[in-house]
Amino acid sequence: MEIEHAVGALGALAHPGRLTIYRMLVEAGPGGLTVGWISKKLKMPGATLSFHLSQLKHAGLAKARRNGREIIQIADFAQMNALVSYLTENCCGGNLAVCAPVCAPRKAKPRKKSA
């Protein structure tokens, strides 16, 4: 990943709404989520959601596929992994044995599901 792509991706994730949407897409996995479901869950107007999704797509973090009349939004896991790799590629000067606990991603605490 080039620095320009990393900056674009981080910039897209710097907005609380986009970060929330992206985390939802990551949690949903490769099956993705419909635009309607995301809008309803976040109580976000369609135009606002469309803007945020287009920013995530422009940054290469999300993509869409059509399923009949529905548009499914999906996190681009390859790009997500490339960004994380870019951010950590020189962690501890490349000597992970020295500081593996520092550079090892921690497991996220399970989030409570809202009804």
Instruction: Read off the DSSP letter of residue 33.
Output: E
Question: Is residue 112 one of the residues assigned to a domain?
Answer: no
Go through the chain and tell me how many residues it has. Answer: 115
Q: pLDDT tens digits for 24-76?
A: 999 999 999 999 999 999 999 999 999 999 999 999 999 999 989 999 999 99
Q: What pTM was estimated for this model as a whole? A: 0.81
Could you tell me the two tokens for 115? 């009804």
Question: Is residue 19 one of the residues assigned to a domain?
Answer: yes
| Total domains present in the chain | 1
Q: What is the CATH number of the domain that holds 48?
A: 1.10.10.10
User: Could you list the residue range(s) of the whole structural domain that residue 57 is in?
Assistant: 3-103
Split at pLDDT 50, 70, 90, the class of 1 is confident
Question: Is residue 80 one of the residues assigned to a domain?
Answer: yes
Please give the pLDDT value at position 105.
53
Sign of the four-CA dihedral 33, 86, 5, 109:
positive
